[in-house]
Amino acid sequence: MQSARSVAGFWILAALFLVAVASSAVPSPLYPIYAQAWGLTPFELTVVFAAYMLGILVSVLVAGRLSDHVGRRPVLVVGTLGIVLSHVLLAAADGFGALVTGRLEQGLAVGVTLGALGAALIDNAPVKNPALASTLNAALPAFALATGSLASGALVEWAPAPQQLVYIVFGSLLVLLTLALFVVPDGAVRRPGALRSLRPAVFVPSGSRTIFRDSAGSIVAAWAIGGLFLSLVPSALLADFDISNHFTAGVLIAVVTATGGLTALLLQRTDARRALLVGLVALILGSALTVASFLTHFLPGVVAAAVIAGVGFGAGFQAPVRLVLATAPATDRAGLISAIYVVSYVAYGLPALVAGLLVPAFGLPAVIAGYGVFVALAASVALALQSGSRTRQVITTVP
C-alpha cells in the first residue's frame, strides 16, 4: 500500500513541475516593455532568448543524469533555488546585460530540475494508476506554458510594476514548493559515478534507442509548433489584426498549450502508437491551417489552427514519452527524460531563433510560412517512419 507521504509527494512534485516550467514563460510578455524601456533591438531580444536556451541545454546535457546517482531531492532543491535566484536577477534587471544574465541563470536552473522532476514523479507514481506519472511528464509542460503565459500576460496588462511583480509571485511559489520537497520520499537508489555522469552527453539506454529514434520527429514537430506560437504569433497578431493586448496574445498561446495538456490527459489510456498517429496528423493539419490563416488574414482560422495545433502538441509529445519511458530501467530514468528534453528544447528554441533572425530580411508572413513547412515536414517524416516502425510492440506500464 502506498504511504500518504508518497501520495502527497507525487502532487507536490506535479505542482513544482507546473510552476518551474511556467516560470520559463513568464518573461516573454515583458519583452515589448523591455524593448521600449531600454531601446532593445529585435536581435538583442533574440540574444536574450538564446541565453535561456543555451543555459537549459548545457545544464540538461551536464546534469541530466545526476539525480540517478545522488538522489532526486538534492538536485531538485538546488535547481529550484536556482530558478528563484534567476527571478531575483530578472526582477532587478536594468538593461540588456542583466536581462541576458538572468535568462541564462534561469535556463541553467530549469535544466537541472527537468530530469530529476520527471524521474521523481515516476518514483512516486500512484500505485493504482502508475501510468499517470508518464502522462503528467508529457502533459505538465503544456499546462505550464499556458499557466505562465496567461498569468504573466494578465499581470503585465493590468497589475502595477509588472517588471517586478510577476517574478515575485512565481518566486514566492517556488520557495514554498522547495520547502515542501522535504516531505517527498526520495526513491532513487544512490550509486557511484556522480562525477562521471557530469560529462556532457545525450544519454539514451540501449533498449530505448530504436523507439527514441523513431519517435524523435514527433517530439521535434510538437515542440516546434509550440515555439511558432510563442515566438512569432504575438507579433503576427499585431501586424495582421492590430491586436496589441498582451493578455489576448497570451490567451491564444494558452489555447495551444492548454489544449495540448488536455489532449495528453484524455489520451492517457489510448494505445500509445494510435495516439502518436493522431498527434502527427494534427501537427500537419495545424501547421498548414496556421500558415493559410495568417496569409489570408483570417482570425477565426488562426483560432481553429491553435486548437488543432494544440491537439498535435499534446498527442505528438505525450505518445513518444510513453513509448520511450516504457523501455527505461529505473536507474536510467532521469538521464532518458533529460534526453527527451534536449530534443524538445532544441526543436522549441532553434527554429524560433532562426525565425527571429530571418524576419527583418524576409518579412513575417514568409517566415511563418517557412516555419509551418518545417513543422509539417518533421511530422511527415515521423509519420512515414511509423508505417514501418518497430514500435509495433506491447506497451508495458512504467512502474
What is the model's pLDDT at position 128? 87
124-133 confidence digits (pLDDT tens): 999 888 888 9
Question: How wide is the angle at C-alpha 337 spanned by C-alphas 53 and 69, nearest 5°?
Answer: 105
Domain 4-182+204-387 in CATH 1.20.1250.20: yes
Q: What is the CA radius of gyration of the chain?
A: 20
**Measured distance CA(98)–CA(229) in Å, rounded:** 26
* Three cell numbers, residue 350: 532553434
pTM over 0.95: no
pLDDT of 357 reads 85
Q: What is the pLDDT of residues 318-358, one digit of tens each?
A: 999 999 988 888 778 888 888 998 999 899 889 988 988 89
Successive 10-residue mean pLDDT values, the chain, 399 residues: 85 96 86 86 81 91 88 94 97 95 96 91 89 88 87 85 91 97 84 84 86 92 90 82 78 89 92 94 97 95 96 95 87 86 90 87 93 96 77 43
Spell out the domain ranges in the chain.
4-182+204-387
